[in-house]
């Protein structure tokens, strides 16, 4: 494991917002910051403000469990997640900032015959898309991750797993800081404590945003509000097919390195990795009801712990140190929505639900392209808002359900 860099001083300036910008990005999470960075870097658009209600990356960006992978089923998803993964591989160099991307692989476990069939199918689909994917039997699973219980006697035995060696984890706050620093250096304004409270639309076209710091005119407004996307969309009269749910996670106290990879199980509903510092990081599915409270119920944690213990008996004496929750924007097909809206010059990026951290560089790249060119990048074109009308859904429930 690597040493950590010193805790940084301020990495970006906090300017007073101007009265007008070419592009206003609503939401200073990972996606908003990455979008600002690629607008400046790839398209030379630097008259950009990122408006954040709270502090930068204080939303889901600081709350996720940092799993990065691209082994989704459909071509459309493979395209954008694999683009992101390739960017992750060079991101530290690109940003000139450590992000501690640790390529340690991900195992997606199969516990039933149906799981096995779906998993093998996904491995083949991944390979056709040039994504590294293998099917492993129980003994091979044990070789990759010796602490997984593969004995046949448990309630949900491990019948095998898909394995993506290039998957991994990164340090989410460093990713945000890296993007923020690099974007600010190119002239982007990062404005904290600046909640957007209204969106001004006249003649079918977006003109400005109302904020806690006054009215700010905008040529283009790009939403990146994750769990609050429905709320900001409604400000412009744009209804989105999203439901906001609490999603929880937890960490144990610091432990010796015991867990070399990332293990996910949809069937028993848990996923586990071990962070750089040594905490076990675990999560599961969303809390069932709609809510904007960043907390969930303890029975969800209890269930994920019992699932974790069945898979990893060695964790029996580990203590939970901290649990928390974020608010995630869940779409009907478990795929994101990235592109234009019925309002001219208003773009939306949302619906990443439980799994948008891994996409951060990829979506930033494609969303910036969409904003700069006024039309989607080929990789986000399938993720249009219209797909819910045309029926061209990208159903990733299988690859995304519990998975992050």
Binding site for ligand FAD (CB under 6 A): 26-32, 51-54, 57-61, 63-67, 195-196, 224-228, 232, 247-249, 283, 326, 328, 352, 354-358, 404
Computed from CA positions of residues 262, 265, 266, 270, in that sequence, does the dihedral angle turn out positive or negative?
negative
* For another protein, the closer CB: 123 or 238: 238
Tell me the C-alpha distance between 282 and 293, whole Å.
20
Residue 382 binds: one of ligand FAD, another protein, none (C-beta under 5 to 8 A by kind): none
Q: How far is CA 288 from CA 102, 292, 304, 347, in A?
A: 32, 12, 14, 29
**304 counts as binding another protein under rule CB under 8 A:** no
* For another protein, the closer CB: 155 or 299: 299
Of 231, 320, 321, 392, the one binding another protein by CB under 8 A: 231
Residue 314 neighbours by CB under 8 Å, 6+ apart: 147, 258
**55 counts as binding another protein under rule CB under 8 A:** no
Q: How far is the CB of 26 from ligand FAD (least distance, A)?
A: 5
- Which x/- pattern over 318-337 shows residues binding another protein (rule: CB under 8 A)? --------------x-----
Tell me the C-alpha distance between 102 and 108, whole Å.
18
Cβ neighbours around 1 below 10 Å, total: 11
**230 counts as binding another protein under rule CB under 8 A:** yes
Give residues 232-251 in contact with another protein (rule: CB under 8 A): 239-244
Q: How far is the CB of 59 from another protein (least distance, A)?
A: 14
* For another protein, the closer CB: 29 or 364: 29
Helix axes 113-128, 75-95, angle to 10 degrees: 60
In this structure, the strands spanning 160-164 and 134-136 are antiparallel
Q: Are 366 and 377 in contact (CB under 8 A)?
A: yes
Residue 59 binds: one of ligand FAD, another protein, none (C-beta under 5 to 8 A by kind): ligand FAD
Q: How far is the CB of 35 from ligand FAD (least distance, A)?
A: 9
Q: Are 214 and 200 in contact (CB under 8 A)?
A: no
Query: Can you say how many angstroms the Cα of residue 76 is from the centroid of all Cα atoms in its chain?
Result: 17
**384 counts as binding another protein under rule CB under 8 A:** no
Residue 202 neighbours by CB under 8 Å, 6+ apart: none
Residue 63 binds: one of another protein, ligand FAD, none (C-beta under 5 to 8 A by kind): ligand FAD
Tell me the C-alpha distance between 337 and 360, whole Å.
14
Of 298, 306, 373, 378, the one binding another protein by CB under 8 A: 298
């Amino acid at each position: 494991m690597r040493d950590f860099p010193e805790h940084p001083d301020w990495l970006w300036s906090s300017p007073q917002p101007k009265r007008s910008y070419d592009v206003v990005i609503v939401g200073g999470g990972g996606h908003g910051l990455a979008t600002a960075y690629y607008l400046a870097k790839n398209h030379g658009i630097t008259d950009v403000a990122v408006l954040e209600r709270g502090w930068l990356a204080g939303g889901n960006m600081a709350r996720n469990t940092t799993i990065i992978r691209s082994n989704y089923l459909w071509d459309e998803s493979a395209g954008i997640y694999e683009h992101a993964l390739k960017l992750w591989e060079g991101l530290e160099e690109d940003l000139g900032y450590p992000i501690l991307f640790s390529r340690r692989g991900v195992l997606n476990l199969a516990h039933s015959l149906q799981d096995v069939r779906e998993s093998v199918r996904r491995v083949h689909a991944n390979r056709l898309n040039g994504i590294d994917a293998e099917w492993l039997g129980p003994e091979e699973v044990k070789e990759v991750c010796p602490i997984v219980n593969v004995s046949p006697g448990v309630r949900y035995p491990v019948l095998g797993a898909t394995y993506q060696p290039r998957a991994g984890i990164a340090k989410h706050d460093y990713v945000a800081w890296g993007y923020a620093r690099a974007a600010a250096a190119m002239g982007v304004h990062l404005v904290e404590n600046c909640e957007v409270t209204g969106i001004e639309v006249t003649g079918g076209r977006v003109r400005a945003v109302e904020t806690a710091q006054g009215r700010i005119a905008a040529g283009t407004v790009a939403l990146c509000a994750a769990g609050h996307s429905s709320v900001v969309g409604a400000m412009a009269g744009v209804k989105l097919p999203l439901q906001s749910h609490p999603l929880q996670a937890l960490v144990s106290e610091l432990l010796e390195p015991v867990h070399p990879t990332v293990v996910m199980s949809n069937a028993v509903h848990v996923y586990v990795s071990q962070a750089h510092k040594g905490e076990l990081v675990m999560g599961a599915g969303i809390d069932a009801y709609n809510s904007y409270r960043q907390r969930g119920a303890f029975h969800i944690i209890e269930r994920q712990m019992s699932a974790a213990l069945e898979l990893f008996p060695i964790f029996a004496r580990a203590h939970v140190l901290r649990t928390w929750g974020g608010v995630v924007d869940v779409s009907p097909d478990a795929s994101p929505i990235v592109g234009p809206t019925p309002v001219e010059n208003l773009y939306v990026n949302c619906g990443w639900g439980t799994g948008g951290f891994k996409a951060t560089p990829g979506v930033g790249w494609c969303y910036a392209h969409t904003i700069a060119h006024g039309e989607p990048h080929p990789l986000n074109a399938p993720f249009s808002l219209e797909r819910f009308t045309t029926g061209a859904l990208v159903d990733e429930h299988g690859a995304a359900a519990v998975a992050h």
